[in-house]
Amino acid sequence: MDLGQELWSRSMLYSDPPDHTRLRSLVNKAFVPRIVENLRPNIEKLSSSLLDSIDRSGPFDLMKGYAAPFPALVIAELLGVDISYRERFKNWSNDIVKGMDASLSQDDWSKSMKATMALASYFTDLIDEKKRNPGIDLVSQLIEAEEKEDRLGPDELLGMCLLLLVAGHETTTNLIGNGFYNLLKHRGKFKELQADRSIMHTAVEEMLRFESPVQRMGRVAKEDVMLSGTKIPKGSMVAGVIGSANRDPAVFPEPESFNLRGVKNQHVAFGKGIHFCLGSPLQGWRVLSLLMACSTVFQRRN
C-alpha cells in the first residue's frame, strides 16, 4: 500500500469505533459554524469573482464556470491554503475526485494517486506553517483540537485535510448542479425562490433531499443481518441507496413533489449514525453559494 492509499485507509471515513470515536471527538472541536462566518467576506469575494467572469450576454455553463471550481476554492479558503496555490489545489482536487469513480481507468487512478501525494506534500508543509503561525482557518483549529490531552497525529491531520477536500468539493458541486437543474425543471419553484429569497435555507434542504449529492454509500456487514426476509451474511458489501431513502413515501407524504418550503424535511443526504456528515454545521456556505449563484441567474433571465 502506498502513502496515498494508507492516508485514505486511516481517515475517519474508513474507520470504526474505537478509532472513529476518538477521531470524531477530536475533529468536532474544530467544526463550528463561526469558521464560515469569520471567512464569509472572503467567500463572498470568491463567489462574486467567479460569477462576474461569466458572460451573461448569452447561454453560459454554470457547472464549468461556478459549480465545479467554487467549492474547491472555498475549501482552500477554509483550510488556509495560500492564494498562489489555489489553481493547483483545484486541479489536484479534480484529479482525486475522478479517482473515486467506480469505473475509473488506470490513467485516472494514477492521476488520482499522484494528486494525493502532491496534496499530502503540500499539507505537510502547511501544517508545519500553521503550527508556527496559527490563524482562524480550519487547519489551525484541527491542530489545536484536544480531547483529554489527546491530539491528532501527523498522518491523522493529513488524512483529515484530504477527506475535507474531497467530501466538501464533490458533494457541493453536485448540490449546486442538481439544485439548479430542478429549479429550471420546475419553473414555478424558480419564480417562487426569486420572489422570496428568505426560503433559501429550506430550499437547500429540499435540494439535498430531492436530488441527493451522494446517491449511495457502501458498507460492510459486521454480523449476519436479516432485512425484510433476506439474510445479509457477515462480511458482505452492501450499498445504502440514499437517493431512494430520500424518496421514501413512508417518510415523505409527497416524495416526488419539489417543495421549497418544507419545514420537517428529515432527509438523509448527510448520512446517518456515527458517520453523519462532519461538515453539516458548515451548511451556511452552501446556502450562500446557491444564493449568490441564484442572483446571477435571476439577473441573466431578467
> What pLDDT shows up at residue 85?
80
**Do 72 and 93 form a contact (C-beta atoms < 8 A)?**
yes
Q: Does 255 sit behind a cis peptide bond, omega within 30 degrees of 0 on the bond before it?
A: no
- Chain-wide mean pLDDT for the chain? 83
Domain assignment of residue 48, yes or no: yes
Distance of alpha carbon 67 from alpha carbon 225, whole angstroms? 40
Question: What value does the mean pLDDT take over residues 106-121?
Answer: 86
Kindly state whether residue 72 falls inside one of the protein's structural domains.
yes
The answer, yes or no, to whether residue 252 has pLDDT greater than 90, is yes
70 grid coordinates: 467554487
Question: Mean pLDDT across the stretch 90-105?
Answer: 74
What pLDDT, on the 0 to 100 scale, is given for residue 1? Answer: 46
Confirm whether 41 is domain-assigned.
yes
Does residue 167 register a pLDDT over 80? Answer: no
d(CA 247, CA 254): 8
Residue 8 within any structural domain of the chain:
yes
Position 288 confidence tier, pLDDT thresholds 50, 70, 90: low
Count of the separate structural domains present in the chain: 1
Q: Is 267 inside any structural domain?
A: no
Please determine, for residue 211, whether its predicted confidence score (pLDDT) is greater than 60.
Answer: yes
**CA-CA-CA-CA torsion sign (217, 165, 286, 78):** positive
Structural domain containing residue 38: 3-212+280-301
pLDDT > 90 in the chain, percent: 21
Looking at residues 154-177, what average pLDDT do you find?
83
CATH classification at residue 88: 1.10.630.10
Structural domain contains residue 263:
no
271 found inside a domain: no
Whether the CA torsion 83, 88, 92, 93 is positive or negative: it is: positive
pLDDT above 80: residue 90: no
User: DSSP assignment, residue 269?
Assistant: T
Q: 68-107 burial string, b = 16+ CB within 10 Å, else e?
A: bbbbbbbbbbbbbbeeeebeebbebbbbbbbbeeeeeeee
Contact 218, 238 (CB under 8 A): yes
Q: Binning pLDDT at 50, 70 and 90, where does residue 230 land?
A: very high
> Which of these, 176, 138, 178, lies nearest to 160 by C-alpha position?
138
- Structure confidence at residue 130 as a pLDDT band (50, 70, 90): very high
Specify which residues 255 forms β-bridges with.
none
Residue 253 lies in a domain: no
Q: What is the DSSP code string of 122-151? A: HHHHHHHHHHHS--SSHHHHHHH--BTTB-
Cα dihedral 280, 284, 287, 292 sign: negative
Query: Which segment of 79-88, 173-182, 225-234, 259-268 scores lowest on mean pLDDT?
Result: 79-88
Average pLDDT over residues 156-180: 84
